Each structure stands twice: as C-alpha cells, then as structure tokens.
Structure 1
Amino acid sequence: MKDFVLLHICCGPCSLYPLKTLKKESIKVKGFFYNPNIHPYQEFKLRIAALKEVEKIENLEIIWDETYGLRIFLDEISFQWERPKRCECCYYLRLKRTIELAEKLRAEAFTTTLLYSPFQFHDLIKEIGEELSYLYKVPFFYQDWRGGYKEGKEIAIELGIYRQKYCGCIFSEEERFSSKKKTPLFQIPKNSL
C-alpha cells in the first residue's frame, strides 16, 4: 500500500461521512479541493471556509486550489447547460484534475466525496472515475457513501459546518429557485415568428 488515497472534496459537509469511513478502514487520506463549478464567488468562499473548519476538526491535510473558476467551468461545459450532460462535463473536469495530482503525488488511489451525495449522478461519477483510472493507471477507489448521507448531514449540523443549498454551479442555483421549465438560451419562441 502506498502512502495515501487522494480524496477530491467538493465541500465540508460532504467530506465528513467519507472521512469517517476511511478512518475506520485505517486508510490514510489527503484531501484535494478543486471545484471551479462553485458559483457565485461568495458561495465559493463560504464553502472554502467550511472545509477549512473540517480540515482543523479532522486534522486533515488538504491540497487547495482556491482559484475561482467561472471561466474554466463554462469552457468545460461548452454550452451543455442541462443535466446530466453539464454534470458529466463538470465531474470529468474535477476528477481529471484529481487523478493528475494523484499521479504526480504517487497516491495509492483517488476518489471523490461526490459519491456521497444522493443528488449527484452516482453511476456517471463511477464511470468517469473508472475511465480515468484506466487512462492514467491510478486506481479509482470506489465507495458508495450515499447510505451515510443522513448521518453525515447530522454530523455537519452538530459541528455547525455551513451547509449549502445547491450543488454549486450557477445553473443548479437557478434550478433551486425556479420550478418553471426553462427555455434554452438562444431559442426563439415559436409564437414570436
């Protein structure tokens, strides 16, 4: 076994249950924060602050990329605004960066806290992780942490860790507040012709 598993961390609350289970299995973990999808800027800063609290509480080493990545994210999704396609692009962006770092650091494997959320496309995350693992020859440590979602949420509440109300991207923020079906941008309504 090499030194550690590199854990891509999307946010503080989502890291708590995976970290608990990894510690229970005596797996050494280094965290990696890389989330150019998180918007707006104030939300990005709140999530960094929440994860820094977890970093202290868990005595966890985290490698930080605190670059606000609006342009990177929008370039990556390339007009794929609807779910699940935009999510696929976003997962690939973050996991590719994670595995590149895992390879550079000679980590035993890589994984992600995205596997914890019941609101994400779990099978798609697993598929991307396995594909990147094949390409980069770094094992993907797959774990279905969704069963601990309620427990992780309770831990976050008990610790007073900021809990976000949407996945992070600007489109998910819009979906949070709007229940109406959206008209794709650049589409001319039929009744206006």
Structure 2
Amino acid sequence: MKLLLHACCGPCSLEPVRLLQAAGHDIAIYYANSNIAPREEYAHRLATLEDWAKSEGIPVIEGPYDPVTWEETAGRIGNAALADVQAARKENQPAAADRAESGRSAPADRISDPYEDASLRADVLSVDPARREARCRACYRLRLEETARVAAEQGFDGIGTTLSVSPYQYTQVIEQEVRRAAEREGIEGVFEDFRPYYDEATRRSRALGMYRQNYCGCRISDEEAAAERAERKAQRAAAKQAERAEHAAEIAAAEAELKKHRADRAAYDKKQARKRAILKSLREQAKQKASE
C-alpha cells in the first residue's frame, strides 16, 4: 500500500517505519505538527526527522505550521482545564502583603512555572484526566485529518501514524482518530500499536545520536512534563531524607566513631612527635659531650 505516515518526530519514526516497510508498505512521511511549541522546537524535530529519513531514502512532506488553529481547538480545551487550576489557586493565594513578608514575589496570573513548589506541581498534575484526553483527541484529530486530506489529494492509498509508539499517548484514541480521518477521505486507515517497540526505538535513536525531546510537543504538555519531573525529583529527595532519618542513629554512631578515631589519631601523632623531639634532644646532647 502507498502509505502516508504521519510522524511526530525522528525517534518515534524508527520502529514504525521499519515494521510498516517490512509489511510491504511504500512509505512517505508527513510532518503535520502545529501543536509543537515553540517554533524552534518544531524546527529542531523536523530537522532531526529529515536527516534520518534522507539517510533511509524516505521522502518527507512538511505540512503547514499553524499554531493559531491548534490554539483554537486543542489549546482551547487545555486552557479550560488549566483555568480551573488557576481559579482554585487564586482563591487560596495569600495576600500580597503576606507574600512580600515571606520574601516571595506575587505569582503571575497564569501557571508559568509549574514546578515552583509542591502545591503548583500538584495543581498541574491534578488537571482532570478527561479534559486532558479531550485535549489530546482534538490534537490528534487536527493533525490526522490534515494527513488524510493530503493523502487523498496526492494519491496515497492510506494513512498511519507513529504516535502509537509512545506509552505516554492515548493509544485507543489514536486508533479511533486514524480510522475516522481515513474514512472521511475514503482511504484506508492503517493502525498498529507500536508501544512494544518503544524501548528499541529509544535504544536506536540514542545510538544514532538523535535529538530526543522530553515533552510531547505542545506548551501544555511541556508544563505537565516539567511538573512530573519536579514531582519525581521531590519524591526522590523525600525518599532519601526518610532513609537518612531511618538510619539516623547508625549514621550518628558512625560519625561519632569517626570523630573518636580522628581524635585518637591526633593524640597518637602528638605523642609520637613528643618522643621524636626527646630522642633528637638526647642525640644532640650526646654528640655535644662526645665533642668536648
């Protein structure tokens, strides 16, 4: 089948392309990702994809970069979810005078630093999962409908996507949107759950020195990923602190033993130095008597 494969980035394309080619599909890649922000990130991912695809002899077609349309669809849903968080925080924020007294500046009227403290991390991570799924569905739909339209216009038999290689995506929703977009244009929807090959894709992309991003692509996923990383860091710090507290007595005993050892060593060194000084004095006295 002549297949137009929607791709989100280079690393996620490695295994899907290999498997689809092995299944006999003639592949061209379509880069339709108006969700990616900022534009520099979009360009970096595209360049990584194009460099690899060129080495494999796979054509890459770039779709229009239209973040405005993305904001009007998926972005609007994401903003609604974050607005709930912002509203809740405003109700619980201390007065400006209290913040000044505590040495903290007044927070901006948006979540600009989701990992500033534990409460902000919790707020970002507590966004209603149903709304998050709705945002991602709208994002998938926008990009896959565009892919299907271009595929139909350019004579492809069907479409697929690399999105399902990621264990962080909504796999079932992706399948639904691939088939929906394809049916809408009268072409085939080719879907496969590539998640079992994620580890191999990770290994291969690292071996190739590919740029690997640390968030899905949109500004909201960037905030979520940052919050999740900060939460994991906080959990590791808490676990380390708890372990230290659990073994506090052992640590204190070990430190006391080390301190005693150092004190004993210092006393021994002082005693030996005094002996050496006495012996040196006796030798000098004997030498002086022998010379008289």
Same fold (TM over 0.5): yes
Give the conservation status (yes or no) of the 8 Å contact 2:32–2:65: no
Structure 2 partner of 1:105 = 154
User: Counterparts of 1:1-193 in structure 2 under 5 Å?
Assistant: 1=1, 4-65=2-63, 67-77=64-74, 79-81=76-78, 82-179=131-228
Q: Distance in 1 between matches of 2:47 and 2:179?
A: 31
Give the conservation status (yes or no) of the 8 Å contact 1:53–1:161: no
What is the total number of aligned residue pairs between the two structures? 178
The unaligned stretches of length 5 or more in structure 1 are: 182-193
Structure 1 stretches of at least 4 aligned residues deviating more than 3 Å after TM superposition: none
Give the conservation status (yes or no) of the 8 Å contact 2:30–2:61: yes
Shift of 1:12: 0.5
Moved more, 69-78 or 117-126: 69-78
Shift of 1:22: 1.5
Shift of 1:17: 0.4
Report the 3-state secondary structure (helix = DSSP H, G, I; strand = E; otherwise coil) of the residue aligned with 1:167.
Answer: coil
Give the conservation status (yes or no) of the 8 Å contact 1:114–1:125: yes
Moved more, 42-51 or 8-17: 42-51
Give the conservation status (yes or no) of the 8 Å contact 1:110–1:141: yes
Identity of aligned residues (%): 33
The unaligned stretches of length 5 or more in structure 2 are: 79-130, 232-292
Shift of 1:95: 0.3
Between Structure 1 and Structure 2, which shows a larger proportion of helix residues?
2
Q: Distance in 2 between matches of 1:51 and 1:122?
A: 22
Structure 2 partner of 1:187 = none
Q: Distance in 2 between matches of 1:45 and 1:132?
A: 26
Aligned-residue Cα RMSD (Å) equals 1.7
Shift of 1:55: 1.5
Shift of 1:147: 0.8
Q: Distance in 2 between matches of 1:39 and 1:21?
A: 29
Looking at CA atoms only, which structure, 1 or 2, has the larger radius of gyration? 2
Structure 2 partner of 1:189 = none
Code of the residue aligned with 2:13 in structure 1: it is: S
TM-score with structure 2 setting the length: 0.58
Report the 3-state secondary structure (helix = DSSP H, G, I; strand = E; otherwise coil) of the residue aligned with 1:5.
Answer: strand
TM-score with structure 1 setting the length: 0.87
Shift of 1:78: 5.5
Q: Which has the higher contact order (CA 8 A, sep 6+)?
A: 1
